[in-house]
Amino acid sequence: MTGQGTGLKPGEALGILGGGQLGRMLAIAAAQIGLDVHVYTDEADSPASRVAAKTIVGAYDDEAKLAAFAREARIVTSEFENVPAATADALVAAGAIVRPDPRALAVAQDRFDEKTFLNSMDVPTVPFAAVNSLAELEAALSRIGTPAILKTRRLGYDGLGQARLQSGADAAAAWEKMSGAPAILEGFASFEREVSIIAARGADGSFARYDLCENDHAGGILSSTRLPARASPAVSAAAEKAVRRVMEHFDYVGVLTIEFFLMADGALIANEMAPRVHNSGHWTIEGALTSQFEQHVRAVVGWRLGPAARIADCEMTNLIGEDASRWAEIASDPSAHLHLYGKRSTRAGRKMGHVTRLKFPPT
């Protein structure tokens, strides 16, 4: 069952970098199949550490603490893509197997490198250009046109570090918003809807994918996901081809997500890739035979992948900020599966939990 001596057995420790809600749901899934989870995070009292067997709180560049982490957790995965390259290097130097491959994490950390990489895999994106000054922004605008979006290349998520440009007159204000950080100008996609593909690749090269997810965003943050997506089988097949290609390239092990814009003519344009479990896959906890979290754990610890079939139509709604104060009402609704992440404080825009509703039979 395990991959030629590199896999973990029940009772052994899986390491997770990061202490947020994705780490928490990975830890719960790992515990269900008998693994101990050791979390490494720079945050005390994190959502993941409160369901893990052990937590090391340390900076991501603390080589001594990372080495102590790697001594007990032979296989280490991550709940976020912004793992510094030096962190992964320190873990590997200490003898850990890091899955997925840090090269996939590195590409996904930089929006320019990511789009360049996707294009090299024959996966289309919007037109884009690297921007390091107002003059470069103006030059890029004359090539790409408006509307357009300026984003920081690194460390942006949930619509943070972004500025929309309706015309060239918006250039100075948009560049100002980047605070001097290297940026990328992207053409604006007038999409019909947004979809994502979530797939897994095992250590043995096996592949499984979930049904295409249809996603709604509000203010740059995912608000809800529904299954089945309103998309043709040809669109699903194109998304599968893209994710397979990316995974094969990295000899990838684990779950990987690609977010796309679906255009009116059926064209799929990739927005970004996430080398990890994804918010648009939370429906799989109740709605699929194997959740994305268990699937990722199975892959990285060298077990066979589980079946990824969807068992119902699903609607997942994020509980953002004060939405979570409705927990008692949601918990008493028999059609709702409530998930709360145990975050100690509520902030506007912060993902506090989610709710999934299933409808049988699946269409």
Site string for ligand AMP, 190-229 (x = CB under 6 A): ----x----------------------x--x---------
Site stretch for ligand AMP (CB under 6 A), options 172-180, 185-193, 198-206, 224-232: 185-193
Distance from chain centroid for Cα 173: 30
CA dihedral 110, 229, 99, 71 (to 10 degrees): 110
Is the distance from CB of 261 to CB of 189 less than 8 angstroms? Answer: yes
> Does residue 342 touch ligand AMP according to CB under 6 A?
no
Q: Rounded to the nearest whole angstrom, what is the least distance from the CB of residue 220 to ligand AMP in the complex?
A: 4
- How many angstroms separate the CA atoms of 155 and 54, rounded? 28
Q: Rounded to the nearest whole angstrom, what is the least distance from the CB of residue 191 to ligand AMP in the complex?
A: 6
| Closer CB to ligand AMP, 30 or 118, in the complex | 118
In a 10 Å sphere around its CB, with 0-12 CB exposed, 13-18 middle and 19+ buried, how is residue 35 labelled? buried
- How many angstroms separate the CA atoms of 167 and 213, rounded? 33
Spatial neighbors of 62 by CB under 8 A, at least 6 apart, are none
Site stretch for ligand AMP (CB under 6 A), options 7-15, 187-195, 239-247, 294-302: 187-195
How many chain residues are in contact with ligand AMP, going by CB under 6 A? 12
- How many angstroms separate the CA atoms of 288 and 228, rounded? 12
| Closer CB to ligand AMP, 7 or 156, in the complex | 156
Spatial neighbors of 200 by CB under 8 A, at least 6 apart, are 207, 208, 209, 254, 255, 256, 292, 295, 296, 298, 299, 305, 308
Residue 232 CA: distances (Å) to CA of 26, 236, 238, 270: 31, 7, 10, 17
| Closer CB to ligand AMP, 215 or 291, in the complex | 215
Which of 132, 159, 192 lies closest to 272 in space, CA to CA?
A: 159
Site string for ligand AMP, 152-171 (x = CB under 6 A): ----x--x------------
- How many angstroms separate the CA atoms of 2 and 143, rounded? 52
Site stretch for ligand AMP (CB under 6 A), options 12-20, 65-73, 80-88, 184-192: 184-192
Site string for ligand AMP, 270-289 (x = CB under 6 A): -xx-----------------
End-to-end Cα separation, the chain, in angstroms: 33
Q: Choose, by CB under 6 A, the member of 81, 110, 170, 186 that binds ligand AMP.
A: 186
Site string for ligand AMP, 122-151 (x = CB under 6 A): ----x----------------------x--
Q: Rounded to the nearest whole angstrom, what is the least distance from the CB of residue 206 to ligand AMP in the complex?
A: 29
- How many angstroms separate the CA atoms of 102 and 91, rounded? 11
| Closer CB to ligand AMP, 159 or 228, in the complex | 159
Which amino acid appears at position 62 of this protein? D
| Closer CB to ligand AMP, 94 or 267, in the complex | 267
Q: Choose, by CB under 6 A, the member of 188, 286, 313, 326 that binds ligand AMP.
A: 188
| Closer CB to ligand AMP, 2 or 223, in the complex | 223
Q: Which residue has the tokens 């460390």?
A: 155
Buried b (16+ CB within 10 A) or exposed e, 265-304: eeebbbbbbbbbbbbbbbbbbbbbebbbbbbbbbbbbbbe
| Closer CB to ligand AMP, 30 or 242, in the complex | 242
Q: Rounded to the nearest whole angstrom, what is the least distance from the CB of residue 106 to ligand AMP in the complex?
A: 18
The residues that bridge with 358 in the sheet, in sequence order, are 314
Q: Rounded to the nearest whole angstrom, what is the least distance from the CB of residue 156 to ligand AMP in the complex?
A: 6
Q: What residues make contact with ligand AMP under the rule CB under 6 A? A: 126, 149, 156, 159, 186, 188-189, 194, 217, 220, 271-272
